[in-house]
Homo-oligomer: A and B are copies of this chain.
């Protein structure tokens, strides 16, 4: 058992490390199709429905500036495009092109293989519970931020 500051520190170190490891895995999975982890994340946010750049930022927890940069790169690659937004003259809607959908689709088998391996090692139930707890922690951090 540990006190609260120690536990928070352990949590941070574990999350930082896992962040790097998951990014590494994502880079491996996406490299063969010409994507990167960041581009996959941005493209993944608009698979179902187009969003504005700022909206993607809110959806994935990044600043609109960094999403903007990634989105522009995806357009330059031909994997996504901006379309006119009837609700806002400047804020166009961002969505994948056919090539973009295809690239994401080709990542799925490798992702599934890795997921099955990892779920087998950790346990589906335990991992789902851990994610739920982390979401609560994230929500608490948001509130901590707001009060400031």
Contacts and interface: CB of A to CB of B under 8 A. Distances in A.
Interface of A: 1-5, 7-26, 28, 41, 44, 60-62, 108, 111-112, 114-119, 121-124, 126-131, 133-145, 148
Q: So how many copies of this chain end up in the complex?
A: 2
Contacts of A13: 41, 60
A14 B137 CA distance: 10
Contacts of A7: 115, 119, 124, 127-128, 131
Q: Which 6 A-B pairs have the closest CB atoms?
A: A121-B140, A4-B115, A130-B133, A8-B115, A19-B19, A17-B61
Contacts of A121: 136-137, 139-140, 143
A144 B15 contact: no
A124 to B, nearest CB: 7
Contact of A134 (B15, B119, B142): B15
Contacts of A118: 4, 8, 137, 140-141, 144
B62 A20 contact: yes
19 contacts: A4-B118, A7-B131, A10-B131, A11-B130, A12-B22, A13-B60, A15-B22, A16-B60, A16-B61, A17-B138, A18-B134, A21-B141, A24-B141, A28-B148, A118-B137, A121-B137, A122-B133, A130-B130, A130-B137
